[in-house]
Structure 1
Amino acid sequence: MLSHTPAPTPSAAAPRRDRAIVNPATGQVIRTVADNTAAEVDEAVRAARAAFESGPWPRLPRSERARHLLRCADAIEANSEVLFQTETRNNGRPISETRAQLSRVPEWFRYNAGLLAAQRDAVLPGDGPYLTYQRRSPLGVCGIITPFNHPLLILARSLSAALATGNTVVVKPSELTPLTTLALVGILRDAGLPEGVVTVVTGGREVGERLTGHPDIAKITLTGGTEAGRAAAVATAARFARVTAELGGKTPIVVFDDIDPRVAAEGAAFAAFVAAGQSCVAGSRFLVQRGVYDAFVEALSARASAIRIGDPARPGTQLGPLISEVQREKVLRLIATGVEEGVRVTAGGGVPELPAELAGGYYLRPTVLADATMSMTVAKEEIFGPVAVVVPFDDEDDAVAMANDNRFGLGAGVWTRDIARGHRVADRVVAGMVWVNDHHRLEPSLPWGGVKESGTGRDAGQESFDDFTWVKTVVVRTAADDVDWYGSAEPGRLN
C-alpha cells in the first residue's frame, strides 16, 4: 500500500507478500511491489475516510481546490519523461504512443479544475413565494480500479474529477501495471496534495473484491472486463453505492464504398493495431461494403504487414508486445478458431522473429482475418490483440444491423464521404461513442462510456464531474406572512 504515510511494517506472523512486475517486451522482472491483503485495503479506506471526515480537502474553498489541481497538472507535466519511460517498460506500448497519450494527462486535471472554478449551483423554477436551489456535495471515499492497457490516462480521467469535487480516493491499479500509478501518487504528494487524499493499494482479485465490496466506499469507477464490471455492480448495489464501469467492446468499423479503400484502410489500421489492439474501443470487426471489399482487404493487409514490431522503448517501433504470455496464447487460440471456422488469414497470424534480447517478450504479428461472417467466434467475441476481422456487407441497412448484432456497445466507426450518411449511421448505431472518418479521438470534455454489456455511466466530461457528487435541494419560503395550514380558511396547495 502506498499513501501519504508509510505503510505499516508487517508482523512476523504476516510477512509482506510481493508480486513481480514484468516488462512484457522482454519477459524480465522490473521490480516487485506489495501484494496487499483485504486487511490492508480496509486500512487504506480508513485513512481515506479520516481524510474526508476530518481533513482539509473537502472543506477547502473551491478556488483553492482548483489551484491544487492546477499545481498537480504542472507537476505531472514536469515529470512526464519519467512517466513515459515507466509506462512503456511496464505495459509494452511503443514510446511514441505513450508520449502521445500521457502528454495529455495534465489536460484532465486542468479541465476539472476549470469545471470546479466555474461551477454554479442551479436555481430551480417553481410556483409561489419560494426560492429553490441545489447544492452539490462530495460523495466521500471513492474507489478507482484501472486496467493494464492505459493505466495512467484512465486513472487521470476519473481521479481528477473525484478530487475536484472534494472526494478522497483509494486507487487499485492492475496487478500487471501499477508502476505509473505509484509514481503519480508521489508526484501529487510532492505537489502539495493533503495527507490521505489519494491512497494506492496494489494486488489482484482479493484487493479488487474487497475495495468494491467495502461498506465505506461511496462510488466505484472501474475499467476492465465485463465479468469484473458485473461483480462490481452487484457488490455496490447491495449498499446502494454508485458505480461507473467501462467494460468490454467489439467495436464495428463500417466502411462504405464511396470512400477510397486505401484511405479507409490506413485509418482502420490505427483503429485495429494501436496499443497492440489491447483497447476496449479497438476496431476489431470491419464491416466493408462489397464494392470496395477486396481493395480494402488488400490495403489493410499491406499496411499490417509493414508495421514495425520491436522494442517499445525505441522511437521507431510501431507495435509492441501483448501484456502477457497468457494474453498472447488467448489471442492465438482465437485466430486458430477463426481459421477452423473459415476465415482467410491475409496478414500476420503468428509470432514474429525478433532479436535474442526480445525473445522472452509477448509479441504477435498484426493479423487480418478476411471473409468472416457475423456468426463466427472472431466476429462476436472481444479479442484484445492486434487482430482485424473483416466482414462484407451489401447496403446501409445491412451494415447497421450487423454493427448492432453484438452484446457490446462501447464504440463504433463510420468511414464515408457522404456526410448525411455519416450522421445517419452514427445515429442508428447502438454505441456510447461513434467516430466518423477517424477513430479513438478523445477530449477531457467528451463523456466516455458504453451501453449494453460495455458498461454503465460515463468518465470524463461534465457527466463524470457531476456523478462524483450528490445533490441537495433547498426550498426557502420568501413570503412575509406565516404558514398556518390548519388555521387558514383556504389552505395553499399541497404538493
Structure 2
Amino acid sequence: MTVTAPASVDTSQPYERDGRLVRDIVDPSTGATIESVPEFTAADVDVAVERAARAFETGAWPALTPTQRARILLRIADEIEQSTEELYRLEAANNGRPVTETRAQLSRVPEWFRYNAGLLAAERTSVLPSDGPYLTYQRRAPLGVCGIITPFNHPMLILARSLSAALATGNTVVIKPSELTPLTTLALMPILERAGVPDGVVSVVTGAAETGKRLTEHPLVAKITLTGGTETGRSAAVATARRFARMTAELGGKTPLLVFDDIDAKVAAEGAAFAAFVAAGQSCVAGSRFLVQRDVYDGFVAHLTDIASAIRLGDPSEAATQMGPLISERQRSKVAALVDSAREEGATITTGGVVPDLPAPLSDGFFYAPTVIADANMDMRVAREEIFGPVAVVIPFDDEAEVLAMANDNPYGLGAGVWTRDIARGHRVANGIRAGMVWINDHHRLEPSLPWGGIKESGIGKDAGIESFQEFSWLKTVVTRISETSVDWYGGADERLN
C-alpha cells in the first residue's frame, strides 16, 4: 500500500500517527514511500521477548520431536518457494536490487531450511569413553529466546541462515530487521504460520537503534545473531557479555581480491566486476580492494573500466536493469565523499564517481555510477575504509610476499579472493590470507553447508554450516553408573580407587 505522511513530517525518522510511532519505508529507486510500519519501543520489545519466552517455556515447539520440527522446516521451504515471486518483487522494491539479482538470491532461501532440517534429522547422540562402570553421553538442548538482527542489503537470505538453524534446534525467535528493509521479513510471518510454526515462536519487532539495543540487552534473550556495522557489533558484544549470553556477529569487511599475472586480465576483470558491483557494492564481502600484479595492471584497469561504464542503471523492477540504487541518500553521500577523498589524494577515477543523470522518477532515487579508482595506494582512505557502494579500488603489486602483506594490512578479515591459474599458488596464498572465507577464481559463492563469518573486526562466530546449527544449542553431558554394586566411599576402601 502507499502511505503519505503529513507534509510537516520528516519521513526519514519515525513519527506519530493514530497514537503510535510509525516509520515510512522508502523505495530507494524513486525516494517514494511505499509503506509504513510500526516503530517498536523498548517496551514493545519487552512484550515480544516475554511472549517468546512463554512460547519456549510452556509451548509445544521445543517439545516437538526432531522429526516433527524437520517436517515443519521442510514445509517452510516449500511455502517460501511458492511465494518466491511475491517475495523477490517486494524485496527489489524495498532495497533497490534489480529483480534478476533478487530472484536469484531468494530462490536459494529454501535451501537453508532444507539443510537444517537434514542436520536435525541426522543428528546423533555422542557416547564418550569413560573409565570404570559408566555410560557417558551428550545431548544438545535449545538455548531459549534468540534475537536475530538483520541488515538492509540481503534481508531474506541473511535471516534464513540464522532462523532455519534457530528453529531446527527448538528455540523461539525475535527478529529485528533493518529499519530500512523490513517488508520481506514481515511477509515471512504468514508463511511460517501456514507451514505450522506455532503462535509466539517467531515474532518481528520493527524499528531502529533503540529497538535493536533493547533486544541485545534483554535478560531473557539467550543468544544474539547480528549482521551489521562493526561499531554496532561492538556495542552488542558488550551487552551480551554482561549476562554471558551467546553472540554471533558478521560485521564490516574490506575484501581484497588478489589478481596474479598468470591469469587473463579480461577474465579477472569480469570476475572483479561481479565482486565489486553486484548489489551495487552493498555487501560485506564486496570486492573493493583489487590488488593486481603490475604486468597485467593496465589491462585489468582498462577491462574493468569498460565493464563498469557499460552497466545499465535503472528501475529495479525491469529485467534489463543491471544495477539499482544505494539504500539511502545518507549512504550515497558517504560513498561520494570517499570517492572525492581519492581524487584529493591523487588517484584517478577512470569511470563513474558521479551521480548519474536518470529520468524521473529515478532522478529522485539514490543512484551512484559504478566507479573504478586507479593509481591508488594502500594509504588512501578508499583502500582502508569500508565503502559499501559500487566502487572498485585498484592497486598494483610486484610479488607474492608483498601482496599477502597488503591483503592482511587491514582491521577486517571477512572474505578475500584469489585469481590465478597456478593452483599451487592459489592454495598457498589462500592459506596466507587472514579472512574467514577465501574464494579462488570466483566470488560471493555461498552454500548452506559453508560456515560464514570473519575474524578481527569482521566479527565472531559462524553463520550457516553445522557450526551455526550447533551454536543454537547447549551441550549437556550425562554420566550414568551401570555397575551392579553401589558406591560406598566411606565404608569401602577399594571404592576410593575406582
Question: 1:45, CA displacement in angstroms?
Answer: 0.4
Q: In the alignment, is residue 124 of structure 1 matched against residue 149 of structure 2?
A: no
- Aligned residues of 2:487 and 2:495 also touching (Cα < 8 A): no
Instruction: Give the counterpart of 2:491 among 481, 487, 495.
Output: 487
Q: How many residues align?
A: 483
Q: In the alignment, is residue 389 of structure 1 matched against residue 393 of structure 2?
A: yes
Instruction: Give the counterpart of 1:408 among 409, 412, 434.
Output: 412
Question: 1:487, CA displacement in angstroms?
Answer: 2.3
Match of 1:97 in 2: 101
Question: 1:493, CA displacement in angstroms?
Answer: 4.9
One-letter code of the match for 1:371?
D
Question: 1:122, CA displacement in angstroms?
Answer: 0.9
Question: 1:130, CA displacement in angstroms?
Answer: 1.3
Secondary structure of residue in 2 paired with 1:350: coil
One-letter code of the match for 2:86?
V
Match of 1:264 in 2: 268
Per-residue CA deviation, residues 98-131 of structure 1 (Å, 9 max, x unaligned), is 0010000011001001100111111112222211
One-letter code of the match for 1:413?
G
CA distance in 2, matches of 1:14, 1:96: 38
CA distance in 1, matches of 2:381, 2:419: 24
Q: In the alignment, is residue 296 of structure 1 matched against residue 300 of structure 2?
A: yes
Instruction: Give the counterpart of 2:373 among 364, 369, 375.
Output: 369
Secondary structure of residue in 1 paired with 2:24: strand
CA distance in 2, matches of 1:370, 1:194: 55
- The range that moved more, 485-494 or 45-54, is 485-494
One-letter code of the match for 1:126?
S
**Which residues in structure 2 correspond to 1:164-179 (within 5 Å)?**
164-179=168-183
One-letter code of the match for 2:396?
P
Secondary structure of residue in 2 paired with 1:490: helix
CA distance in 1, matches of 2:340, 2:497: 71
Match of 1:458 in 2: 462
Match of 2:201 in 1: 197
Match of 1:432 in 2: 436
- The range that moved more, 149-158 or 121-130, is 121-130
CA distance in 1, matches of 2:293, 2:57: 58
Match of 2:28 in 1: 24
Instruction: Give the counterpart of 2:257 among 239, 250, 253.
Output: 253
Q: In the alignment, is residue 138 of structure 1 matched against residue 142 of structure 2?
A: yes
CA distance in 1, matches of 2:17, 2:326: 38
- The range that moved more, 347-356 or 421-430, is 347-356
**Which residues in structure 2 correspond to 1:38-437 (within 5 Å)?**
38-437=42-441
Per-residue CA deviation, residues 390-447 of structure 1 (Å, 9 max, x unaligned), is 1101100111100000000000000000000000011110000000000010000000
Secondary structure of residue in 1 paired with 2:322: coil
One-letter code of the match for 2:258?
V
- Aligned residues of 2:216 and 2:236 also touching (Cα < 8 A): yes
Q: TM-score, normalised by structure 2?
A: 0.96
Identity %: 70
Question: 1:342, CA displacement in angstroms?
Answer: 1.1
CA distance in 2, matches of 1:326, 1:334: 13
Per-residue CA deviation, residues 146-199 of structure 1 (Å, 9 max, x unaligned), is 000000100000000000000000000000000000001121112221010100
Distance 1:128 1:35, change over 3 A: same
Match of 1:4 in 2: none
Secondary structure of residue in 2 paired with 1:17: strand
Instruction: Give the counterpart of 2:449 among 441, 445, 448.
Output: 445
Per-residue CA deviation, residues 238-284 of structure 1 (Å, 9 max, x unaligned), is 00000000000000000000000100000000000000000000000
Question: 1:301, CA displacement in angstroms?
Answer: 0.6
Question: 1:341, CA displacement in angstroms?
Answer: 0.8
One-letter code of the match for 2:199?
E
Secondary structure of residue in 1 paired with 2:29: coil
Distance 1:77 1:13, change over 3 A: closer
- Aligned residues of 2:355 and 2:367 also touching (Cα < 8 A): yes
Secondary structure of residue in 1 paired with 2:316: coil
Q: TM-score, normalised by structure 1?
A: 0.96
One-letter code of the match for 1:380?
R
One-letter code of the match for 1:488?
G
CA distance in 2, matches of 1:221, 1:287: 32
CA distance in 1, matches of 2:435, 2:21: 42
Secondary structure of residue in 1 paired with 2:225: strand
CA distance in 2, matches of 1:321, 1:290: 33
Distance 1:254 1:445, change over 3 A: same
Per-residue CA deviation, residues 319-345 of structure 1 (Å, 9 max, x unaligned), is 100000000000000000011111110
Secondary structure of residue in 1 paired with 2:361: helix
CA distance in 1, matches of 2:41, 2:194: 27
Match of 1:8 in 2: none
Question: 1:371, CA displacement in angstroms?
Answer: 1.2
CA distance in 1, matches of 2:293, 2:17: 65
5+ residue gaps in structure 1?
1-11
Secondary structure of residue in 2 paired with 1:431: coil
- The range that moved more, 189-198 or 41-50, is 189-198
Q: In the alignment, is residue 472 of structure 1 matched against residue 480 of structure 2?
A: no
